[in-house]
Structure 1
């Protein structure tokens, strides 16, 4: 059960549904309630489909091109660190994005199923296995839909500033995870170099 819990927590932090509330609210604020729910459902469905696809086939594709798991840990850790720093500094540019279909771009991708979460599901699949990863995707996307569907009420209750503070906390936790991945990847790379010597 530990692997299920770890997979869930890690993906929950990276998806950052709470941190996305202000952005999603800004993008859909002019819509009626039923329209927002439809857009949220579509974006979550598309995001979960992308994450499942990369869970099952993403790592195999990259290993075909001789990309090692060590490479993935280092590159993915750097990517997550950049996303975390972006979250800590602010993501106001995302609030200005507009699209003919908001559910696809930018909501499903890159805000939910972005490079960071895609990397994470591939990482989780390699470390914990397919079932914990798929269970994490299913549970996290359901939670994301519930949170985003209630974003209007959440902001009304706690205020936008509180949501932004929570978003910064999740970004800090993401930065810690990212540094841990980078360190682990560098340690693996060093061991590989020493073993060859």
Structure 2
């Protein structure tokens, strides 16, 4: 078991790009406003656990329940699509009865550790050593925790107008990610 700095750096950058927690700040703030608060520790731990679990048993788990990776990614693309529609159009599609679950769904899954992240982990596993991917996951989740813990400060930094613009812009980016995930996995 040998750690490789180049592999750790590469996988960290790939995971960072796919998780895109900086781009998700408007979503996190919107979820916090709906729920009253976000449990940063819970969301980070659940997302980390899901990513590590999926790294080791993801493909086999999907096979056991009869789902291929493409179908999993398409399902994730629909969830991302609806979150994006909420942001762009100002709709409320996700109606949470229990606000304490917001930290888990939709924040930890599918926003942080969603279909895109999971399929990326499976792709990375075929190219890089598992221990290097694990280090990259942990590095990314430390950063995710920092962002989640500081959403109040980030909200003040951006201001109401800045957040509104950021929410709309990121909503369009999320729509594009959802469509790309859908197209890639359907062959369209």
User: TM-score of the superposition, structure 1-length normalised?
Assistant: 0.67
Determine if contact 1:8/1:139 at 8 Å carries over to the other structure. no
Deviation at 1:2, TM superposition (A): 4.7
Conservation of the 8 A alpha-carbon contact between 1:17 and 1:144: no
1:162 partnered with 2:162: yes
1:114 aligns with 2:122: no
Q: Distance in 2 between matches of 1:142 and 1:91?
A: 32
1:123 positional shift: 0.6
| Cα offsets for 1:30-85 (capped at 9, x unmatched) | xxxxxx8xx42343223322332233323321112332233334333333323322
Which aligned segments of 4 or more residues in structure 1 are displaced greater than 6 angstroms?
Answer: 93-96
Q: Mark the runs of 5 or more structure 2 residues left unpaired by the alignment.
A: 1-8
Q: How does 1:34-45 map to 2 (within 5 A)?
A: 39-45=39-45
| Higher fraction of helix | 1
Q: Kindly indicate whether residue 133 of structure 2 is the aligned counterpart of residue 125 of structure 1.
A: no
The answer to whether the 8 Å contact 1:54/1:121 transfers is no
Q: Map residues 58-69 of structure 1 onto 2, 5 A cutoff.
A: 58-69=58-69
Q: Is 1:152 equivalent to 2:152 in the alignment?
A: yes
Q: Unaligned stretches of 5+ in structure 1?
A: 30-35, 191-197
Larger Rg: 1
Aligned length: 175
TM-score under structure 2 normalisation?
A: 0.70
State the distance in 2 between where 1:58 and 1:15 align.
Answer: 26
Using the TM superposition, give the Cα deviation of residue 9 of structure 1 relative to its aligned residue in structure 2, in angstroms: 0.7
Aligned to 2:5: none
What is the Cα deviation at residue 15 of structure 1? 8.2
Q: What is the RMSD computed on CA atoms of the aligned residues?
A: 3.4
Matched, 1:24 2:12: no
Are the counterparts in 1 of residues 116 and 181 from structure 2 also a CA contact under 8 Å?
no
CA distance in 1: counterparts of 2:52 and 2:20, whole angstroms: 15
Residue 75 of structure 2 aligns with which residue? 75
1:19·1:166 contact (CA, 8 Å) conserved in 2? no
